[in-house]
Chains A and B, each alone.
Chain A
């Protein structure tokens, strides 16, 4: 029998900011070519394979013109427009609110004409921050928090990711440049945000810390969710499927 803790039942003032747990994701986002997210589970840094990184990207905007609340409101409202060219964020109908799921189309490597479909769930949102969590099949198992706070005469807008690569294949690409490409993605995003807030020549401060150097081999099997693997298998087996269809028809 479960005995409630004597101090436990009171309501918390953060309740409205958190999403409710879900077994499988669904989305109201439209416009993406494919939805590889519906039916998947979320997967955070605990479920990832690679080394755990904490990456922080920050840009300053003048506090005379903005408050942390207005910066975050602006960021939420126009989030898709700040992404670098070649990547698309399909916002859910209710916008960036707890429990909503957005779809993404991003190149597997920078400059690639091929786009990978994935998504993110909004697990937390309040007036000064919001947090995304990635689904299974995403290249990263991550939480990414976007926030703003006052620092002297500035408001600092910040994107902070706590991430592991999802599987050994992605970890390999991280060792050969994808990690840096991921950094450039967020740096450009913050530059675009700052420019839209009136900063002519924004400068992004980046901090990267390897929180855990170990790789979690028990999650190596995440590779089964990888869209890249699914695409490769589909390509390799295409001739066999074509022959089977021809035989069935003839």
Chain B
């Protein structure tokens, strides 16, 4: 069973999704339910600081999330990535579509600048 929980909060027009546990293909219900609560946000920040595990199914899920965000006209940003997960986003070239920031204030500033 997939162990994924996602907390959501809002700062202005930016929604922050804090992902805990793992992201696999089985994380879809938890991740998409959280994303649904980001409806109306101009930017969505994914916080990976409490991520323990991600397989290739999880990366596929991030692409699906990216497509939904693009369709909704939202910018997708990422924070809290360990070197390992930064490498995975680089390997898969997802970092060309998801803006990576060192921390939440930097991501919020970037989101505000493009809003």
Contact = CB atoms under 8 A, between A and B. Distances in A.
Interface string B38-66: 00000000000111111111011001101
A96 to B, nearest CB: 13
Interface residues of B, number: 35
A81 B57 CA distance: 25
B16 interface: no
A20 B87 CA distance: 7
Nearest to B67: A212
Contact of A18 (B50, B52, B60, B87): B87
A54 B59 CA distance: 13
A165 interface: no
A189 interface: no
A145 B79 contact: no
Contact of A124 (B52, B55, B70, B71): B55
Contacts of B55: 14, 17, 124, 126, 129
Contact of A8 (B49, B53, B57, B60): B49
A131 interface: yes
For chain A, the bracket of interface size reads 35 or more
A5 B79 contact: yes
Contacts of B96: 46-47
A235 interface: no
A18 B53 contact: no
A141 to B, nearest CB: 10
Interface string A1-13: 0110111111111
Contacts of A18: 84, 87-88, 91
| 4 A-B pairs closest in CB distance | A131-B56, A124-B56, A7-B49, A21-B91
Interface of B: 49-57, 59-60, 63-64, 66-67, 70-71, 79-85, 87-88, 90-94, 96-97, 102-103
Interface of A: 2-3, 5-15, 17-22, 41-47, 52, 54, 123-124, 126, 129, 131, 133, 143, 145, 147, 160, 162, 211-212, 214
9 contacts: A5-B49, A5-B103, A8-B82, A21-B87, A42-B93, A44-B92, A52-B63, A123-B56, A212-B70
